[in-house]
Amino acid sequence: MEILKIDKISVAYGNIRALSDVSMTVSEGDIVSLIGANGAGKSTLLNAIVGLVPLSDGTIAFDGETICQAKHQKLSTDQIVKRRIALVPEGRHVFADMTVEENLDMGAFMVRDQALIEKRKAEMYDFFPILGIRRKQKTRSLSGGEQQMMAIARALMSSPRLLLLDEPGLGLAPLVVQDIFNKIRIINEENKVTVFLVEQNAKLALKTSSYGYVIENGRIVLADKGENLLNNERVQKAYLGA
């Protein structure tokens, strides 16, 4: 079943077109990856899904409901989040002077049930034990990997059905990246959260994904099963160093 449908969208910043006629779908329960070079339009696409950048053409639908539409934004970002879509932005964007616990509280800012918030925080501390240990520490004191875990936990506090991840491995050591991706698999398989993933480490992204897309200069140029893209000669030469 299709949970996300992106239909012929374009995004422009002034005279610069960042996305051109992009169409793709994400099926519920899948991990889908989007790979491409820096500046190809990957982050713009994720930001468009949550209404942070306006569409100049096309529509985006979530669970059969149009949430973004060209010319006039269909829903505001907070209304989109209420539909249970969560974005972990590139660079994490943590609240550095807040504690880990306060950051998690921010992730649940639309939840009114305090008991439910406390339950979800306990679940996050169980899932990411280091966050439980550091819950009273200022976020700026965490390592890059710990901050990334916290950014993911913060997004999960809203109990999303669709989790958008923008470069979760950026700037992290290989072992930390592997740990983050193991957590992403668990979130998908055990928590039943659909994942749409942007990642520079194309090999790891495609290995993790059931399906993948390749974007170049704002256009989708390839789409296939993750394993097929791993074996695609064009992908190997451009993104896998083969």
Domain ranges, ordered by start, for the chain: 1-84+162-242, 93-159
Contacts of 89 (CB under 8 A, 6+ apart): 43, 46, 151, 166
Q: For the domain bounded by 1-84+162-242, which CATH number is listed?
A: 3.40.50.300
Q: Profile the chain (242 residues) by mean pLDDT over runs of 10 residues.
A: 96 92 97 94 96 95 96 88 93 85 92 92 95 94 92 95 94 90 95 94 94 97 96 92 62
Query: How far is it, in rounded angstroms, from Cα 118 to Cα 124?
Result: 10
pLDDT of residue 94: 85
Question: What's the predicted TM-score (pTM) here?
Answer: 0.94
Angle between helices 144-156 and 100-107 (to 10 degrees): 30
